[in-house]
Structure formats: structure tokens, C-alpha cells
Amino acid sequence: MNRLDKIHIAGGTPLHGTIRIQGSKNAALPMMAAALLYPGVSILRNCPKIADVFCMEEILCALGADTWWQEHDLYLDCTKADKMEISGIYTEKMRSSVILLGVLLGRYGKASMGYPGGCVIGKRPVDLHLYALREFGVCIEEKKEFLEAECRKLKGCEIFFAGSSVGATEQAVLTAASAEGKTRIHNCAKEPEIIWLCRFLKRMGIKIQGEGTEKILVEGGAPVKGGDMQVPPDRIVAGTYLCASAATRGKIEIENPPEGELTAFLEVYRKMGGQYEWNSGKLVADSRRVRFPVPLTETAVYPGFPTDLQSPLMAVFATIPGESCIQESVFEDRFKIAEELNRMGAEIKIQGKKAWIRGSFCLKGTKVRAQELRGGAALVIAALAAKGESIVEGYSFIHRGYEDISQDISRLGGKIKKDTGTTIYEDIQQY
């Protein structure tokens, strides 16, 4: 483990203060893919500077695009993007890279890429992606280490997804943008990221109806222009910092909350004893009375409770005496965090799709290890609430979705610091 891949945390300090939320990872990535539709410049404003965005940027550059940053505005010039192959070196790092397949096919008629990877939180097969592409007339050959796809001309079609999938819906919408004629997509995901992608595509000149519903209609094949759009605030990052406030019994204010996108989370927050109010577009969350276990919280597709906040919520429940239960209904292997939380003094038992959490008055600081993005954020939350010092290893996982979680938490008064090569005791003494 690289020393600089760790975070040092001294727990026990309630978070207080004001925070501004970074741009959304899950909105930015498909917009970056959409930029490849236009042989010119597109701009993503307030784009998050996180590892996944940098990885997607590297992929676009490997395809021949030119990119540059001005503060938090990302410029994507795809004029000279003329490559059709994406190396497995990139795709194994990030599953969402698969959404580039349909865009490349629309631009060149051919594409190949290594199998997509990403966080270890379940199988997350790409079957629905491949089904959608085949409906457009794409021939796909699944080889041992990569996918090869070809289609002389994409044709508008009717797609019926067997299950709701954010990635597959994005794939279908992006492919439909280049397909000749109308495409009707049924059983679409309703997540906000789908709506933001469709808005970006509309700014590029593509006609779309029905985003945010189960059926989306896309009229493709027309000339497009460069997109220019503000990336919305990240609802999962906002939820993470609300969880950090709840676990430490603090009170925070979010300057730019993703309004309308946190409803399911805030309902659970209220059940725990959290109080909140909207004030002039800001969200004020008071967690000083958080003390009630929640009998059952079930993850679901939007607008249900987001699976990406399941691990952070588990960390909060670990600080509440009594028994809470979480049922994971989206991914089959997203309870990896339980073992690490148990090492900090929680009592969590896994039974199939359910996690039973018997919380503790005081977690204890120790060394723990992140294995994936949201689980890593959950360990930071638990460490902030714990007594004593903690080291969270695997910061590289956390950086996939959080620009600088240490700096953000520090602004709220948390005693947290990325490893600088000194010992934990030397770091903690600085607080």
C-alpha cells in the first residue's frame, strides 16, 4: 500500500459550517461521451476534477481528441478524434467507458474496446448495452478480452429493456442520436443523470422527448453542434456529506444542493432524527438530534433510495444505538464495508440481501481499507465519528468520485488529512 494512498482522521468532532458541492460525476461522464458526436469543441462547466473524469479524458485523448481545462471548465475538441479502439488499460478502470461504443459506431461505423471494469460491487453485466446496440443493427463479436462492433449505418428502432439500467439507457440515447430516424426506448432509467444527458444532447441540436419518464423518444441522424452546459451538483456527494454530519451529530449548510434529487435520502435522514430546511436555495441540515435506528431502508432505482448512498448510510447507522436494517436491491455484492465497520466496533450481520446493523455509542478508531468508491467514503464517515485516530487506506478509490474529500471535510471542521509521508501521530498533533 502506497503511503500516499491513505487518509489520517482524528474522530469525535461534530461537523459544522458551509460546503459547496462539486459537479456530478454521473452526469459529467456521459456528457463527455456525447461530446464525441461533434467534430468540434464542447464545454462542460463546473466539471469535477476526479479520477473517473480524468480517465474518460485520457480515453478521449487516446481517440484523438484535444482537451484542456480553464479552472473547472473542461473543453473537449473532438475535431481530430479519428481512432476507433479503446484499450483495456482504460476500460478496466472504469465501467462507464462502455457508453462510448454507440458514439464511436455513429461516428465511424466501427469500434472495439476492452471489457469494462470498475468498482467491485457486483457483476453489473453489459448485456443490456449489447442488446440495445444490436437493435440498432450493430454486429457485435464478444472475444476473450475485448468487444468488436460494426454497423455500416445505424437505424432508428424500438428498444424494450427487461430491467431499468442507467448505463444501458445512456447507451441507447447516445446511439440513437446518430441513428437515422426515430428511436423509442422503453423501460428507461429515470435517474437525474439521464435527464442531464438529454438536456446536453438537446443543446447539441438533437430532438429528444420523455427524459425522466419510462419512455424516451429520440430523433437522430441530423447534424449536431457543440454542447455547452453547466454540470449539476453531485447528489451522491451531497448525500455523503449529510451522512458525515449525521454520524458526527453536526450541523451543515449546503450552498448548492441538487434540489429535488435528495428526497428519498432526506426521508431516511428525518427518520433518524435529522432536521432540515430549505432556505433561499440552500439546504440547512441539523443532525444534533440524530439518535433513532431505522427499521428498514431499501435501495431502489430512482426515485428510491440510491444504492450509492447505502454504504455511507450504513456508517451512520453504526453510530446509532439500536437495530437498523438495510436491504440492497440493486447490486448483489455491496456489503463489503460491513467487515471494516465491525472492526471499528459496529455489529453488522449480513443475511442475503439484508444487513442488520446494531449501532454503538462510540466507534473506535483503527486502520481500515477501502475496496471501492462509496465504501471508502463510508469509512471516512465512520472514522470521523470514532474515538481516536483512524487510517483509511485506498484513497485512490475515493478520488474516483470525490475531488478532495479531505479538504471538504476540513472546511467543516473535521480533523482529516491526506498522508504526507509523516506518521499519523505527527499529523494528528497538528490539529
For 404-423, the DSSP string reads -HHHHHHHTT-EEEE--SS-
Please give the grid coordinates belonging to residue 431. Answer: 490539529
Helix/strand/coil (H, E, C) string of 172-201? HHHHHCCCEEEEEEECCCCCHHHHHHHHHH
**Chain centre distance of CA 93:** 14
Class of residue 167 by CB neighbours under 10 A (exposed 0-12, middle 13-18, buried 19+)? buried
Report the 10 Å Cβ neighbour count for 4.
Answer: 11
**Chain centre distance of CA 33:** 16
Facing residues of 217 across strands?
184, 209
Residue 97's SS3 state is: helix
Dihedral sign, CA of 221, 227, 230, 235?
A: positive
The size of the chain, in residues, is: 431
CA neighbor of 274 nearest in space, from 295, 244, 230, 299 = 244
Alpha-helical (H) ranges within 63-136 are 88-91, 100-108, 127-135
Query: Does 157 participate in catalysis according to the annotation?
Result: no
Report the 10 Å Cβ neighbour count for 327.
Answer: 15
Which of 78, 119, 157, 243 is flagged as catalytic?
119
Residues designated as active site:
119
